[in-house]
Amino acid sequence: MSIEAPEENPSVTEGEPAYLRIAGALRTRIRDGALGAGDPLPPERELCVEFGVSRMTVRRALGVLEREGRVHREATRGTFVSEPRVELRLGSFSQEVSRAGRHPGAELFWAEERAADDPVADGLGVPVGTLVYALQRLRRSDEEPLALETTYYRADLVPGLLDGDLSGSLWEEVRRRFGLTLARTTAALEVVVLDGEAGTHLGGRPESGGLQLTRRTYLATGECLEFAVDVYRADRVSLIIERAVDDE
């Protein structure tokens, strides 16, 4: 016996597209706790009957929720509610993860002293060839990989930095060992696709979305101490960037 997809329900498709209404209804269930992390969503066939739409419309709705990181699909098992994203503000990864009630961690892949090439020199605002400390770390929250950080420091401002503790907050290391005052940080945010090195280390699904944060951290003297390119899993992290609003 074959089951045909039902015709679209006109009351659903009026105004907002049906797939967005379905996505909104399922989003509300997740937000209100009717569907918790790890719970399976109803099978596509049941959703078709519930909302009076075709399977293609249901799949479009699920695709919206998947891109938002609210659900994930497993080929042979169905669609499941994902863990809530970790909310991180622009600042110290270690401090932000701790603030979220989790345990931060860092796995050092490499660290070296090198001469700044054009991109790094431009990022730090120094001449090409200036000695910098370069390191790459995988940042974890409760052992879950969330970000791949590639960071560059001016070696003349923090001599011997790489000989210290690189397993935690580098900002705290800078303050404690060198007595420097970090005055401000700037960042540019881009949406990227996780592939190659970042995708392998972060363990995301093939060609899943990522957030690339290009940061610069300045001292109270106005000198740029740190230039970094951080790549986050978009399905697991929400980046919160705040700023004061000037009075007009």
Instruction: Look up tokens 């399922």; give the residue.
Output: 26
The one-character DSSP state at 164 is: S
Q: For each of the chain's 248 residues, which pLDDT tens digit applies?
A: 333 444 444 334 457 899 999 999 999 999 898 998 889 999 999 999 999 999 999 999 999 998 777 888 887 788 998 887 777 877 778 888 888 788 888 999 999 999 999 999 999 999 999 999 999 999 998 888 989 999 999 999 999 999 998 988 999 999 999 999 999 999 999 988 887 788 888 876 656 788 899 999 999 999 999 999 999 988 888 887 765 555 44
**Burial of residue 27, with CB atoms counted within 10 A of its CB: 0-12 exposed, 13-18 middle, 19 or more buried:** middle
> Rounded to the nearest 10 degrees, what angle do helices 44-51 and 55-67 cross at?
110
Q: What tokens were used for 123?
A: 């990022």
pTM: 0.72
User: CB-based burial of residue 194 (10 Å sphere; 0-12 exposed, 13-18 middle, 19+ buried)?
Assistant: buried
**Which SS3 state, helix, strand or coil, does residue 189 take?**
strand
Q: Which residues pair with 210 in a beta bridge?
A: 192, 233
Residue 243 makes CB contacts below 8 A (sequence gap 6+) with none
Helix residue spans in 158-207 (DSSP H)? 170-178, 196-202
> How high is the pLDDT of residue 207?
66
The torsion angles phi and psi of 127, rounded to 5 degrees, stand at: -65, 150
CA separation, residue 122 to residues 152, 214, 225 (Å): 12, 12, 12
Distance separating alpha carbons of residues 220 and 106, to the nearest angstrom: 27
Instruction: State which H helix or E strand residue 196 sits in.
Output: helix 196-202
Residue entry with tokens 């932000």: 96
Q: Which domains does the chain have, with CATH numbers?
A: 10-81 (1.10.10.10), 86-240 (3.40.1410.10)
Angle at the Cα of 95 from the Cα atoms of 91 and 98, rounded to 5 degrees:
140
Residue 100 structure tokens: 């979220």
Interatomic CA distance for residues 94 and 141, integer angstroms: 9
**Alpha-carbon separation of residue 93 from 30, 106, 126, 220 (angstroms):** 27, 10, 26, 21
